[in-house]
Amino acid sequence: MKILLTGGAGYIASHTCIELVKANHEPIIVDNFYNSQKEAINRVEQIVGKKIPFYEVDVCDKEATRIIFEENKIDAVIHFAGYKAVGESVSKPLAYYRNNIDSALTICELMIEYDVNKFVFSSSATVYGLSETVPLKEGMPTGCTNPYGWTKYMIEQILIDFAAANKNMDVVLLRYFNPIGAHESGLIGEDPVGIPNNLMPYICQVAVGKLEKLSVFGDDYPTPDGTGVRDHIHVVDLASGNVAACEYENKGTEIVNLGTGIGYSVLDMVKAFEKANSIKIPYTIAPRRAGDIATCYADATKAKKLLNWEAQYDLTTMCRDSWNWQSKNPKGYN
């Protein structure tokens, strides 16, 4: 299949591109480099050993995006493109609603126009909101705590309605848990803009000397060690989940969690990283952050049943691959 990856130079998308090539699909990348780097595409091509068709386009621009559909017989779209910083979404909500929803609508309209009937959406476990019930299952109530999360929630609803109105449409909404790790080569990985929002890149930047120490937000949660518990999944597992979703045939909409089904605390992650890489990570305990919940991990049984997919990588490998990327690229792609 020819598969269009919107936001294709991003962290999860770049790894998905490699897995698509391995599965004999033909990815096409579109990205405007708002929160990604062109070097990521060069590195992907180095790994797969061939050129990947690429367009530098903002997918909110319908006429510019139309050219991609005109020039390629696209079979499926994996929609990664979007603004993604939770904190920034709170301070710039209109920009997030405009960009993230507009880009999804543009793609949907062009898919109708060019008879493309497969849409895979990179959604997020953030749509489960402040649910304290674990594991999180696809049928549970949803809700969000920030504009970034609401854009994911709203796009999910748009796509459900889109599929219901277009009987040939096949939509898979993938709710990602916490991606970490990197390609085993160390050539591509997570390259956050500014100070990282997520735990693993923060740990890695402490390890490489860019940041002084890790702040652990809260040690009084009702968890085994008092720190927050999350489901961390290797980015290559997420990438293979996207391939499986593209290959899954079904009319209508399916919602699928992609996670390991295992919860690790913040201190579990620190200790695992230290053990895997023989590096000490200094940390301090800080007050809880508003909106954080104690425990969040996936029920991933539907992914196994529906997509024949399950996570393959263990925590030690996730930690090693994260450090392999960061140590080889202390300044990211720059």
Span 244-286, pLDDT tens digits: 999 999 899 999 999 999 999 999 999 999 999 999 999 999 9
Write down the pLDDT at residue 46.
98
What is the mean pLDDT of the segment spanning 49-56? Answer: 98
Write down the pLDDT at residue 197.
86
Which tokens is 239 given?
A: 């990438």
Q: Is the pLDDT of residue 212 over 90?
A: yes
User: pTM to 2 decimals?
Assistant: 0.97
- The pLDDT-based confidence of 160 (bands split at 50, 70, 90) is very high
Write down the pLDDT at residue 195.
87
Write down the pLDDT at residue 62.
98
Write down the pLDDT at residue 132.
81
In 3-state terms, what secondary structure has residue 20?
helix
The answer to whether residues 261 and 300 touch, using CB atoms and an 8 Å cutoff, is yes
| Residues 306-329 pLDDT 10s | 999 999 999 999 999 999 999 999
Q: 2-182+231-260+296-313 in CATH: which number?
A: 3.40.50.720
- Could you give the residue numbers annotated as active site? 148
Pick from 189, 192, 93, 103: which is nearest to 149 by CA? 93
What is the mean pLDDT of the segment spanning 212-224? Answer: 97
- Token match 């450090």: residue? 323
Instruction: Please give the DSSP secondary-structure letter assigned to residue 285.
Output: E
Instruction: State the amino acid at position 300 in one-letter form.
Output: A
Domain locations along the chain: 2-182+231-260+296-313
| Residues 53-72 pLDDT 10s | 999 999 999 999 999 999 99
